[in-house]
Amino acid sequence: MFLEPINFSAMYREHKATTDFKGKTSSDWDEKSADMAASVINSPYVDDFISRMNITGDEVVLDIGCGPGTLAIPLAKRVKEVIAIDFSAQMLEELKAYAAREGVTNIKTYHIGWDDDWSSLPLADIVVASRSIEVSDVDTALAKMSAHARRGCYLTYKVGGSFVDMNILDYIGKKVKTKPDYWYIPIILYSHGYLPRVDYIETGRGSVRSANEEDFVESLIWSVHSLDEEQQFKAREYYREVIIGQNRPPRAVNWAFIGWETSI
C-alpha cells in the first residue's frame, strides 16, 4: 500500500494514548444519560445515518454504544430486531423508557461495552457504532464489529481530531493534543481486505452546548476535562463577545460515515 510498511494500528494506539480527549467512564455517561436523551433523540443526524444504510426491513441490527436509543429506536421501527449494547446501565434505562413511550418491543439490551467479552452476543446482519467508537485499540474494535456482522457494518467517527471548535480553544488559551482523526479507520479496514466507503454527516450544531453562559462553560469542561480560572474567564468572555455579540455559535460538527461489507 505504501513504499514502506506503516503500522497504522500501532500509530492509532500511540496517538489515542497521548490525546487530551480521553474516553469517558460508564459512571460519566450514567450521569449524562438524562441530558443526552433529551438532546439527541429525533435529531436530523439520525435520519442522515439511517438513509445511508442498506436495509430492507428483515435485518437484525447490533447497535454498539447505543446510548439512550438515539439510533436503536428509529432502527427498530424499520428492521426485524435491534440488539442494543452499552457499558452505561443508566443509558440502557433511558433506552427502555424511550422504547416504552414509542411502543417499540423488538429490542434486546445487553449491559456490555467495547472491551467486554462478546461471546454471549448473537450474530447480526448489520452492526452499527454511531459516534461510539472512542476506544484505545481501534483495530480490535473494528475486528469485533466485522466478526459479528453477516452483511456489513456502519460507523461514524469525528472529523478533525477535536470535539471542541479550535477557535474557542485558541481564544481561551487551552492547548490540546487532538484525538486520532477518522482516516485511520478506512486505512486499517483496507489493510484487512475490506473496501470501506466514506461519506460525511454534518450535525448542524457544535458539540459544545451554548444555550447560556454557564451551559457553555460546563460543556467545555466536560469536553476537555479541566479549565483553570483564567481559561474559564476567557471562555465566558468568548461566549459574550463572540457567540452572543457576533452571533457566531460553535462550529458545526462533521462526522465521517464509514461502511463496509463483511459477508460472513
> What are the structural domains, with CATH classification, of the chain?
8-166+176-208+251-261 (3.40.50.150)
- 246 with 171: CB under 8 angstroms? no
d(CA 155, CA 61): 13
What was the pLDDT predicted at 4?
80
Residue 186 vs residue 177, higher pLDDT: 186
d(CA 113, CA 71): 17
Q: Is the pLDDT of residue 30 over 60?
A: no
Q: Is the pLDDT of residue 90 over 60?
A: yes
Which three cell numbers mark 66?
A: 447505543
Q: Is the pLDDT of residue 41 over 80?
A: no
What was the pLDDT predicted at 26?
65
Instruction: Say what the pTM is.
Output: 0.87
Give me the DSSP letters along 114-135. Answer: TTS--TTSPPEEEEEEES----
What end-to-end distance do the CA atoms of the chain give, in Å? 25
d(CA 14, CA 8): 10
Residue 225 vs residue 7, higher pLDDT: 7
What was the pLDDT predicted at 165?
87
Q: Is the pLDDT of residue 259 over 70?
A: yes
What was the pLDDT predicted at 64?
98
